[in-house]
Structure 1
Amino acid sequence: MTSVTIVTGGSRGIGAATARRLAAAGHDIAIGYRRDHTAAKAVLDDIQATGRRGLAVPADTTDPDQVQRLFDAAADLGPVTGLVNNAGITSPIGPFTELRTDDLRQVVDVNLIGYVLCAQQAARRMTHGGAIVNVSSAAATLGSPGEYIHYAAVKAATDTLTLGLAKELAPHGIRVNAVAPGIIRTDIHALSGVPDRPDSAAGRIPLGRAGEPDEVAAAIAWLLGPDASYTAGAVLRVAGGL
């Protein structure tokens, strides 16, 4: 059976690297993205260049109707067998006392509610089994003091969501796991107000450097693939020793 995998946040960073890698591994890919049509088309072109089928769907993962539309569109490629819950957002780095309520709500909405809505659609549709990979963060166990404690707390919730879903869905042939990236060289740092963070933080990373998106994509691809057939409920840390 052909693998049909949805990658949310698939137009950039870890999501784009994952979509490209999975296509090269034989998956047909549906990427969800918010607004960057040019970036989404570039990823789609790369998917199709591998000979696989692909489509790109604008979708706000915090909106259940748009999530359903993304999954409906993906079903045009065939029964959905994989989900990479990757669409995520941070907010400006700073002390906890300065956290704005609207930033807090947006981080919870995108990084937790969005993951729940997408996983729910996947669980309903994977009637013949499948695999879900949630993109968590090393922040879940580090706490991110002085940076974004609220983001770390939501990523800890991602780990708990992964464990609970793994246990509930395993009897239905659906494996659920997570990856926990550390500091990865993507534009998410610009959104948090510290674009040079991958370089400035390198000194506190045991391996001495930030990670690359494809290094995380490799872990995601493994968790989705047949070599991880007995892996469920795992949080695979890809954080350079952090």
Structure 2
Amino acid sequence: MKRLVTVVTGGGRGIGAAICRRLAHDGHDVVVGYVNDTAAAEAVADEVLEAGARGVTVRLDTSVEADVERLFATAEERLGPVTGLVNNAGVSGPLGRLADTDTADLRRVVEVNLLGTLLCSRRAAQLMAPRRSGVIVNVSSAAATLGSPGDFVHYAATKAAVDTLTVGLAKELGPDGIRVNAVAPGMIDTEMHAEMGDPGRARRAAATIPLRRAGTAEEIAAAVAWLMSPEASYTTGAVLRVSGGR
């Protein structure tokens, strides 16, 4: 039986780590892509092994074409033909109004969230199309439709682009047997908020969410896992909102 081999970018922590763990539990061998924290990525790979799957770590910057090539080459050499991709790597930059945001921060957000997703998706399509099968799941954000004024409209703009990519690429790759979908998380309680300079952000937002709480990384991972599963075999071009009603 052919093994499922899934590449997860930004897999070393937060939502990405939860996705790696869940996919391993569902029988996927997992490539844990990460950018900085080697120890955290190795810990996730160990959890993948404990779940009975194979795990490999690859350090890369998704906005660098050569790194993306190396990511997929390592996946195929170590684990076998890539059957799935989760484009989870993303950055938000500091919270604040667009007028106060540095150009370097704008550029980095666009390069990782959009260009990185494009580069990884392109490479996955090149490998999957001749095999006539594959699944790509993009991690978008509810910010794509909310706009995130005062927080990070530039981040929201890149996620809206990811939603458009999801729809267009699903139509482009459908005849090749490749499904492309996205999950759009709402306010999720991860370390991302502390990195943006506001560790209490998720807790404070609870009052504005219909379910009256922030979500968990595991809840996003469950949605990703469903979209990657045979149960979603007729689902492509969808953006699945997992946001507590917001």
Alignment correspondent of 2:3: 2
Cα distance in structure 2, aligned partners of 1:116 and 1:96: 24
The farther-off stretch of 179-188 and 91-100 is 91-100
* Matched-pair identity in %: 60
Q: TM-score, normalised by structure 2?
A: 0.97
Taking the TM superposition and a 5 Å limit, the aligned residue runs for 1:80-159 are: 80-126=82-128, 127-128=130-131, 129-159=133-163
Match of 2:148, as an amino acid?
A: S
Alignment correspondent of 1:190: 194
Q: Is the contact between residue 90 and residue 191 of structure 1 (CA under 8 Å) also seen in structure 2? A: no
The farther-off stretch of 86-95 and 213-222 is 86-95
Match of 1:219, as an amino acid?
A: A
1:199 aligns with one of 203, 218, 226: 203
Cα distance in structure 1, aligned partners of 2:39 and 2:171: 39
Alignment correspondent of 1:32: 33
Alignment correspondent of 1:176: 180
Alignment correspondent of 2:171: 167
Cα distance in structure 2, aligned partners of 1:117 and 1:61: 7
Structure 1: segments with no counterpart, 5+ residues: none
Cα distance in structure 2, aligned partners of 1:37 and 1:222: 28
- The Cα offsets for residues 147-201 of structure 1, whole Å up to 9 and x where unpaired, read as 1111111100000000110000000010000000001011111221111111011
Q: CA deviation at 1:240?
A: 0.4
Alignment correspondent of 2:49: 48
Taking the TM superposition and a 5 Å limit, the aligned residue runs for 1:202-241 are: 202-241=206-245
Q: Which secondary structure state, in structure 1, belongs to the residue aligned with residue 137 of structure 2? A: strand
Structure 2: segments with no counterpart, 5+ residues: none
The farther-off stretch of 185-194 and 11-20 is 185-194
Q: TM-score, normalised by structure 1?
A: 0.99
Cα distance in structure 1, aligned partners of 2:9 and 2:98: 28
Alignment correspondent of 2:20: 19
Cα distance in structure 1, aligned partners of 2:198 and 2:50: 34
Cα distance in structure 1, aligned partners of 2:68 and 2:59: 10
RMSD: 0.7
- The Cα offsets for residues 23-66 of structure 1, whole Å up to 9 and x where unpaired, read as 00000000100010110111010000112111000011010000
Q: CA deviation at 1:96?
A: 2.0
**Moved segments of 4+, more than 6 Å:** none
Q: Which secondary structure state, in structure 1, belongs to the residue aligned with residue 188 of structure 2? A: coil
